């Protein structure tokens, strides 16, 4: 039976639309669209008028919706973002700066993290995964332990889990260690909002993280830009909210906020059922195709094919899938990533299985070279390098120069080299692998 769930933002907007007042406020479309498929969105696209609450001072319909979300995820408090996970990461790091914590971060961080460090002038001690590769790798509790033991001041650990390929860190064990050292654990859970709703709750907050950010839109049915910060301790929420206000637009999109509100209803009544059905269909797909494809381990909704081990390059397999009407998320020489969510129609997975089964390529593994992450010395702070005078040069001419800024292709948006680091031969190999041909270097 469906449970009655309040959707306070949506309900407010629908009342407003039904009352059809004369709109003497922003936005300029005044509730009237320009036709086409977007027409029904315009009337709902309001701004922070009295009664609609205000995201960064929420105490009305937005605050109520956030409380509903916190109850669903089991967090102490939730703070919404209509500026994606990017804004959440900026807010979490601002809080760490205010607490004067040093930051240890997994090297596979998204470029959003780096940009926030540049803006906030943070220095980072990088933690390298055991297998020392760029996109995905196991961050062992031992690595975390050694980092925390070495810290000379209050610290925080920042991890990305699930990572881009779906790999998961042992958050429970790492959280335990953090508590032992009085350090805070922050998790970029952009790829894992659904983890709260499986048979075992694997959401970082349930496993002991202090702060984590979820993208509602990446793995749940919500509009792009919908995200939130979860606080284990509700007393952290005001600091997170005020930090968000420093970076976020003063005109947050009510369409995005409303989509989170409606997603709360979905999470109450339907997500567990859908998640179980889709997860089991994906499992079956992997089982049925196991002679033909090697699938990487990790979160079930990341269908990550180790293409090279099956005789394809990820990019060639991806290009072929597109000719068959399947759009992938990301492909490189080694991998192909197909992302699902609890809202993926089962019929789409039937079609995907059919298409994959008919893949025409040979089945001889392509030798791939695992490129280890270089650990070049950092000669300038990230901020100094990012704001220094710089020039773009072909990567072959960049050896020995200091990286000013990397704009890795998005996805996966994990920078092979960090601003301030000296570029060496190993870095060039990695840049080439990710098809980055030019790089900004500091001109001194």
Question: Which spans of this chain sit near ligand PLP (rule: CB under 6 A)?
Answer: 84-86, 110, 112, 160, 188, 190-191, 215, 227
Q: Which is nearer to ligand PLP, 114 or 144 (CB)?
A: 114
Q: Which is nearer to ligand PLP, 92 or 275 (CB)?
A: 92
- Write phi, then psi, for 19 (nearest 5 degrees): -75, -15
Q: Which is nearer to ligand PLP, 93 or 190 (CB)?
A: 190
**Strands 211-215, 184-189: parallel, antiparallel or unpaired by DSSP?**
parallel
Question: Whole-angstrom Cα distance, residue 400 to residue 397?
Answer: 9
HSE-up of residue 354 (Cα within 13 Å, Cβ side): 9
What would you report as the CA-atom Rg of the chain, rounded to the nearest whole angstrom? 23
Compute the least distance from the CB of residue 43 to ligand PLP, in Å. Answer: 26
Question: Whole-angstrom Cα distance, residue 32 to residue 217?
Answer: 26
- Write phi, then psi, for 203 (nearest 5 degrees): -65, 140
Compute the least distance from the CB of residue 191 to ligand PLP, in Å. Answer: 6
Q: Which is nearer to ligand PLP, 116 or 402 (CB)?
A: 116
The helix (run of H) or strand (run of E) holding residue 276 is helix 271-288
Q: Which is nearer to ligand PLP, 112 or 344 (CB)?
A: 112
Q: Which is nearer to ligand PLP, 77 or 223 (CB)?
A: 223
Q: Which is nearer to ligand PLP, 64 or 66 (CB)?
A: 66
Compute the least distance from the CB of residue 189 to ligand PLP, in Å. Answer: 8
Q: Which is nearer to ligand PLP, 160 or 259 (CB)?
A: 160
Strands (E), 190-341: 211-215, 227-231, 302-306, 330-331, 335-339
Q: Mind giving me the DSSP string for 131-153?
A: T--SS-----HHHHHHHHHH-SS
Compute the least distance from the CB of residue 218 to ligand PLP, in Å. Answer: 7
Compute the least distance from the CB of residue 362 to ligand PLP, in Å. Answer: 32
Q: Which residue is nearest to ligand PLP (CB)?
A: 84
Edge-to-edge strands, sheet with 390-394: 390-394, 438-442, 403-405
The helix (run of H) or strand (run of E) holding residue 442 is strand 438-442
Compute the least distance from the CB of residue 194 to ligand PLP, in Å. Answer: 14
The helix (run of H) or strand (run of E) holding residue 245 is helix 237-247
Compute the least distance from the CB of residue 154 to ligand PLP, in Å. Answer: 24
Q: Mind giving me the DSSP string for 4-66?
A: P---HHHHHHHHHHHH-----SS-TTTT---SGGGTTTGGG---S-TTS--GGG--SHHHHHH
Compute the least distance from the CB of residue 326 to ligand PLP, in Å. Answer: 20
């Amino acid at each position: 039976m469906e449970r009655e769930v309040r959707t306070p933002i949506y309900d407010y907007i629908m009342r407003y639309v039904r009352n059809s007042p004369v709109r003497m406020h922003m936005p300029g479309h005044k509730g009237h669209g320009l036709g086409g498929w977007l027409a029904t969105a315009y009337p709902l696209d309001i701004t922070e008028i009295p009664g609609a609450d205000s995201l960064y001072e929420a105490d009305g319909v937005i605050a109520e919706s956030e409380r509903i979300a916190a109850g669903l995820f089991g967090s102490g408090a939730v703070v919404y973002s209509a500026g994606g996970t990017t804004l959440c990461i900026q807010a979490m790091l601002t809080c760490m700066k205010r607490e004067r914590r040093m930051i240890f971060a997994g090297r596979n961080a998204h470029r959003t993290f780096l940009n926030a460090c540049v803006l906030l002038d943070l220095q980072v001690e990088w933690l390298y995964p055991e297998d020392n590769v760029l996109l995905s790798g196991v961050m062992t509790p031992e690595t975390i332990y050694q980092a925390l033991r070495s810290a000379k001041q209050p610290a925080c650990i920042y991890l990305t889990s699930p990572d881009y390929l779906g790999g998961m860190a042992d958050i429970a064990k790492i959280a335990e260690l953090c508590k032992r050292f009085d350090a805070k654990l922050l998790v970029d859970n952009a790829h894992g909002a659904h983890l709260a709703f499986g048979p075992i709750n694997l959401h970082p907050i349930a496993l002991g993280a202090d702060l984590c950010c979820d993208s509602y839109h990446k793995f749940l049915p919500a509009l792009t830009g919908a995200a939130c910060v979860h606080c284990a301790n509700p007393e952290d929420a005001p600091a997170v909210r005020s930090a968000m206000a420093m970076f976020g637009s003063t005109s947050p999109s009510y369409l995005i906020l409303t989509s989170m509100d409606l997603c709360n209803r979905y999470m109450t009544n339907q997500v567990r059922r859908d998640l179980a059905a889709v997860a089991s269909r994906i499992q079956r797909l992997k089982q049925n195709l196991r002679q033909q494809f090697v699938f990487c381990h990790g979160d079930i909704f990341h269908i990550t094919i180790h293409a090279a081990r099956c005789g394809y390059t990820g990019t060639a397999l991806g290009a072929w899938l597109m000719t068959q009407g399947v759009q992938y998320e990301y492909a490189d020489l080694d991998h192909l990533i197909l992302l699902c969510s609890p809202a993926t129609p089962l019929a789409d997975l039937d079609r995907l299985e059919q298409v994959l089964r008919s893949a025409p390529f040979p089945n001889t593994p392509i030798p791939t070279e695992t490129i280890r992450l270089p650990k070049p010395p950092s000669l300038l702070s990230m901020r100094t390098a990012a704001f220094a005078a710089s020039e773009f040069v072909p990567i072959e001419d960049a050896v020995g120069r200091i990286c000013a800024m990397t704009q890795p292709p998005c996805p996966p948006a994990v920078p092979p080299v960090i601003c301030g680091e000296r570029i060496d031969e190993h870095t060039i190999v990695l840049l080439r692998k990710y098809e980055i041909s030019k790089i900004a270097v500091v001109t001194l």
